[in-house]
Amino acid sequence: MQALHRQIERVARTDATVLIRGERGTGKELVANALQQLSRRSGAAYVKINCATFPGELLASELFGHERGAFTGALERRPGLFTIADGGTLFADEIGNLSLEGQAMLLRAIEQGEVRPVGAKSATRVDVRLVAATNKDLERAISEREFLSDLHDRLSEVVLEVSPLRSARTLDDQRRLGQLSVYMCHNLWITGHPTEALGFGQSAQAIAEALGDVPLQVTANLYFGAACMWAGDYRRAEELLRKVLRLLEGDLSRERLGLAGFPAVMARFYVPWVFAHLGKFNEGIVHAQEGVRLAEALDHPYSLANVCWILGTVQLTRGELSHAVQLFDRCLALSREWNLTYLSAMGTGSLGYAYALSGRTAEGLALLEHALSAVETMGFGAFQPPFLVYLGEAYVLADRVEEALAFAGRALTLARERGQRGYEAWALRLLGEATTRRDPPGRADGHYRDALALAEELGMRPLVAHCHLGLGKLYRRTGELEQAREHLATATTMYREMGMTYWLERAESELKD
């Protein structure tokens, strides 16, 4: 395992095609994630595909894209996975399960360095680093004419053999075990598995503390804190991330510590995010602004784009829509200039939600739909529930109730499956919002109260206030005026305490009518 770590660190700095081999459950995807995170492409697109699930009849379209009208059902131009991954990395999992037709297409793209969308007259150059993984015996597959030998040769510039992760538990080198646990924690939460990430985060933190290794303490607490945030444990996340800020005082604030972004900046990315959920907006804005100044001083576009996005997100949650739009625009400009694909998706989705709240509903829906498709394609499962909630809220504002309910249901299912309790609460509130628009309003009361109970448990004060506002509006509609006034008064008080002027005005308007 120590040898594997050294190989990962060495190979990550190159553009070599990598084949990762190992039995099922050995952590091949985590190795691929580490290769991306430590590479010069770490801030660019990282597209994951499962070759076992590729639809045969649409394979070329999935890989290379298609033009409008290229075939029945091609109503608009769509980029393929190679184009989306341009400038970054394409991870082809279960490559041994790809059909011979698909293998030939992949081989041709690798050899030529270009792709031609279905229906296009010319090919387009792409710069994509390919990482593939398999648990199959490819040499045997070649002998049985189930795998192309030329493709195997192309994929095997570097071969990494991964032993079961259970063997890592016996490593004498605790520092490398801690680093592996950090990688696993980060990549599990970002792909939408925060509860699994928590165990690795806790392990990394314990090892770092036992060793007295400050850089490892920084990365362990940073990603452990992020995993806690995505799992909805905002109080624990705040504790861990504040510790990172304390550890990064002094010269260490200008060190990368092997991460894509400067930890001193990224801590000021996660801390305000937690504070936005808790309603601590003033403190969150201060930390995010510090992050912007630090990223500008370090002249690091990736770090700067991240903190511009989070400062915009804090302002968006508070209801300062014009400030949020300006910050998302800056994030998107940086993302496009530096090909930061996942940040482009995050900025696009958040800008779409800001547009929807500002009354530009059609524009907002288009941006949100594009962003959701992008994060799903890139495999960033953590962002699916929030973007589904954003989309659902935009559909409520567009008075498209059935679509809003469908997105709310999807968000709730995913959040519960993945243990994202904060977004479970947001999805429940969305169900209340959408159901209220029905006639009669059905189970809206129950949805709001479920959301309220969970939000109160997690300390999510902005969401608690939103639930009271929703209940107040619901009870006004059903003629239960005393209960309506009680909930609207509570919402008004909470919005005023948190400085949420946009929402305060709406609550006060409901209370006066």
Q: How confident is the model at residue 164 (pLDDT cuts 50, 70, 90)?
A: low
Beta bridge partners of 46: 89
The three-point CA angle 221-222-224 to 5° equals 60
With 60 as the cut, is the pLDDT of residue 107 above it?
yes
Residue 364 Cα to chain centre, angstroms: 19
Beta bridge partners of 65: 79
With 80 as the cut, is the pLDDT of residue 272 above it?
yes
Average confidence (pLDDT) over 448-461:
98
85 secondary structure, DSSP code: T
246: amino acid identity, one letter: R
Average confidence (pLDDT) over 183-204:
88
489: amino acid identity, one letter: A
Arithmetic mean of pLDDT over the chain: 90
pLDDT at residue 56, rounded to an integer: 61
With 80 as the cut, is the pLDDT of residue 217 above it?
yes
pLDDT at residue 172, rounded to an integer: 47
Q: Name, of 9-23, 137-151, 411-425, the range with top average pLDDT.
A: 411-425
Span of 144-153, 326-335, 496-505 with lowest mean pLDDT: 144-153
Beta carbons of 224 and 198 less than 8 angstroms apart: yes
Span of 22-26, 226-230, 296-300, 440-444 with lowest mean pLDDT: 22-26
CATH fold for the domain made of 2-167: Rossmann fold (3.40.50)
Per-residue tokens: 294: 């630090």
Which percentage of the chain shows pLDDT scores above 70?
96
Sign of the dihedral defined by the CA atoms of residues 320, 321, 323, 324, in that order? positive
The three-point CA angle 427-428-433 to 5° equals 90
Q: Which residue has the higher pLDDT, 513 or 196?
A: 196
Q: Which residue has the higher pLDDT, 469 or 375?
A: 469
Beta carbons of 33 and 183 less than 8 angstroms apart: yes
Per-residue tokens: 90: 């394409």
Q: How confident is the model at residue 162 (pLDDT cuts 50, 70, 90)?
A: confident
Average confidence (pLDDT) over 472-486:
94
Which one, of 46, 61, 59, lies nearest residue 103 by Cα? 59
Strand-strand pairing, 124-125 and 129-134: unpaired
Angle, helix 214-231 to helix 174-190, in steps of 10 degrees: 30
Which one, of 417, 363, 356, 359, lies nearest residue 392 by Cα? 356
Q: For 384-415, what is each residue's pLDDT tens digit?
A: 999 999 999 999 999 999 999 999 999 999 99
Q: How confident is the model at residue 298 (pLDDT cuts 50, 70, 90)?
A: very high
Neighbour-count burial for 425-441, b at 16+ CB within 10 Å, e otherwise: bbbbbbbbbbbbbeeeb
pLDDT at residue 147, rounded to an integer: 92
With 80 as the cut, is the pLDDT of residue 75 above it?
no
Per-residue tokens: 156: 């095997």
Q: How confident is the model at residue 25 (pLDDT cuts 50, 70, 90)?
A: low
pLDDT at residue 171, rounded to an integer: 43
Residue 242 host element (H or E): helix 234-247
Q: For 109-151, what is each residue's pLDDT tens digit?
A: 888 888 888 888 888 899 999 999 999 999 999 989 999 999 9
Average confidence (pLDDT) over 59-77:
78
pLDDT at residue 439, rounded to an integer: 73
pLDDT at residue 335, rounded to an integer: 92
Q: For 349-376, what is each residue's pLDDT tens digit?
A: 999 999 999 999 999 999 999 999 988 8
Q: Which residue has the higher pLDDT, 131 or 99?
A: 131
Give dist(CA 393, CA 404) in Å, integer.
Answer: 7
pLDDT at residue 436, rounded to an integer: 93
Q: Which residue has the higher pLDDT, 460 or 124?
A: 460
Average confidence (pLDDT) over 142-167:
84
Residue 460 Cα to chain centre, angstroms: 20
pLDDT at residue 80, rounded to an integer: 85
Strand-strand pairing, 78-79 and 65-66: antiparallel
Q: How confident is the model at residue 170 (pLDDT cuts 50, 70, 90)?
A: very low
Angle, helix 301-318 to helix 281-298, in steps of 10 degrees: 160
Average confidence (pLDDT) over 256-262:
79
Q: Which residue has the higher pLDDT, 308 or 340?
A: 308
With 60 as the cut, is the pLDDT of residue 165 above it?
no
281 CB contacts (<8 Å, ≥6 apart)?
A: 275, 314, 317, 318, 498, 499, 500
Q: Which residue has the higher pLDDT, 328 or 380?
A: 328
Count of CB atoms situated within 10 Å of the CB of 154: 17
Q: For 26-39, what is each residue's pLDDT tens digit?
A: 778 878 888 887 78
Give dist(CA 381, CA 377) in Å, integer.
Answer: 9
Whether this prediction's pTM lies above 0.85 is answered by: no
495 CB contacts (<8 Å, ≥6 apart)?
A: 465, 501, 503, 504, 507
255: amino acid identity, one letter: E
User: Could you state, in order of their start, the residue ranges of all structural domains in the chain?
Assistant: 2-167, 171-247
| Region for residue 95 given its phi and psi (left: phi exceeds 0; alpha: psi -120 to 50; beta: otherwise) | alpha
Give dist(CA 70, CA 84) in Å, integer.
Answer: 19
With 80 as the cut, is the pLDDT of residue 176 above it?
no
CATH fold for the domain made of 171-247: 1.25.40
Which percentage of the chain shows pLDDT scores above 90?
61
Domains 2-167 and 171-247 share a fold: no
